Amino acid sequence: MFERLDDIKERYRELESRLSNPEVIKDQNTYRRLAKEHSDLNEIVRSYDRFLRIQDEMAENRQMLNDSDPEIRALARDEMEGLEKEAAALEERLKILLLPKDPNDEKNILLEIRAGTGGGEAALFAADLFRMYSRYAEKKGWKVEILSSHETGIGGFKEIIALICGDKVFSRLKFESGTHRVQRVPETETQGRIHTSAVTVAVLPEADDLDVEINPQDLRIDVYRASGAGGQHVNKTESAVRITHIPTGLVVQCQDERSQHKNKAKAMKVLSARLYELKQREQEKQLSEERRSMVGTGDRSERIRTYNFPQGRVTDHRIGLTLYKLENILQGSLDEIIEALGTHYQAKALAQSTRSGREEQRSVA
């Protein structure tokens, strides 16, 4: 590990030198790429530098432990205890920082929320979840743009797809993919019985041109008159767009905008993200279960969380976390859950990395 850290530190110093080079500064594309790499390595190098300073301080304290003055020896012992704790914590932190990064962590996302079992109640909860994620995005300073939606007559959504743009959105929300279950008494229930409904959430990294290439000849594009809320315009103009990707059979449609051109652009964003996810799935089939657990992108088919209204309780089943903060969570206070999930999957990845390292050492031996 420390050889790798030394290499990273050397690369960090090299990047600092190159970023001050006038020729590099003139080439903005190269400058941005190197600045991004420099920024990514910053926390690792700072932590490693602190770790090395602590090692030097510990070496000095070991010498002081042999001093003839008992007060100096006592002082050295006290300092040594604190230094050892900090060194151990930094070493664990460095192990986490050196774990393989999810290549999608920096990306924006497409958030897809769909009502599942439960009819109208599920659609209403889909709207609740969309508000929850929208408020969380607002707290983080992210931008939310609705790409497609299918509203019900009672204020719910059968489906809603939104683009969320900001700093490391995918890294924060990637573990939200899965089935979200709600337990509450519907407004239409006269006998006060608790109903259970389900909503599926999919978090897809936004694809760019380098991630997926779409051949226009592989697309069938249909236009039609939009339906639903929106006034007379939607019934008179063929602004809605449906795009079919013939090789895969994927179909996306968008009718929210008045402009056919805008609807087509939004539909293409959704199609690109879904094709990128399909490409990732095919690649992951070739990887072992152990490698997939290290990447940890979540599984939308898994029942991940229950929102229990009578008890004001939210339970994440993957990590056994229960919080009696339902109202706050639905208002967008998701950090406690998201950070607990991140810590859980980091620990799993670290354990796997340690096992792999031991197996590699045994094979070499």
pLDDT score, position 99: 73
At residue 116's C-alpha, the angle toward residues 113 and 118, to 5°, is 130
- Residue 147 CB partners (closer than 8 Å, separation 6+): 110, 161, 162, 163, 254, 256, 266, 267, 269, 270
Pairing relationship of beta strands 143-151 and 109-115 according to DSSP bridges: unpaired
Lowest mean pLDDT among 58-72, 102-116, 124-138: 58-72
The pLDDT > 90 percentage for the chain reads 30
The domains of the chain, with CATH numbers, are 2-97 (1.20.58), 109-210+296-348 (3.30.70.1660), 216-283 (3.30.160.20)
Spatial separation of the C-alpha atoms in residues 170 and 120, rounded to whole Å: 29
- Residue 337, token pair as written in the block: 């859950």
What is the pLDDT, as a whole number, of residue 162?
A: 92
Q: What average pLDDT score do residues 328-354 get?
A: 87
What is the Cα–Cα distance from 203 to 164, expressed in whole angstroms?
10
pLDDT of residue 301: 52
Q: Whole-angstrom Cα distance, residue 134 to residue 109?
A: 13
Residue 283's pLDDT is 66
| Residues in contact with 151: Cβ distance below 8 Å, sequence separation at least 6, in sequence order | 157, 158, 228, 229
Rounded to whole angstroms, the Cα distance separating 365 from 356 reads 14
Question: Could you identify the residue written with the tokens 């920024």?
Answer: 39
Predicted local confidence at residue 302, as pLDDT: 61
Rg of the chain over Cα atoms, rounded to whole angstroms, equals 26
Q: How far apart are the first and last CA of the chain?
A: 18
Pull the structure tokens for residue 349.
């990845």
261 falls in which pLDDT band (50, 70, 90)? Answer: confident
Neighbours of 209 (CB within 10 A): 8
Helix (H) or strand (E) holding 354: helix 335-364
Query: Residue 9, SS3?
Result: helix
Q: Which residues contact 236 (CB under 8 A, 6 or more apart)?
A: 225
Q: How high does pLDDT run on average in the chain? A: 83
* Percent of the chain clearing pLDDT 70 (strictly above): 86
| DSSP reduced 3-state for 41 | helix
Residues paired with residue 315 on neighbouring β-strands, in sequence order: 306, 322
Cβ within 8 Å of residue 167, ≥6 positions away: 140, 141, 142
Q: Minimum mean pLDDT among 36-45, 157-166, 168-177, 345-354: which range?
A: 345-354
The rounded distance, in Å, linking the Cα atoms of 133 and 173 is: 9
- CB atoms under 10 Å from CB of 280, counted, come to 19
What gap in Å lies between CA 205 and CA 106, rounded to an integer? 9
209 phi, psi to nearest 5 deg: -60, -30
Average pLDDT over residues 51-71: 86
CB atoms within 10 A of CB 332: 17
- Give me 356's structure tokens: 């792999």
Choice between 341 and 227, residue whose per-residue pLDDT is larger? 341
Beta-carbon contacts of 162 under 8 Å, excluding residues fewer than 6 positions away, are 110, 111, 130, 133, 134, 144, 145, 146, 147
3-state secondary structure 49-104: HHHHHHHHHHHHHHHHCCCCCHHHHHHHHHHHHHHHHHHHHHHHHHHHHCCCCCCC
Please determine, for residue 233, whether its predicted confidence score (pLDDT) is greater than 90.
Answer: no
Cα distance between residue 256 and residue 241, in whole Å: 10
Tens of pLDDT, residue by residue over 74-105, are: 888 888 888 888 888 888 888 877 777 778 88
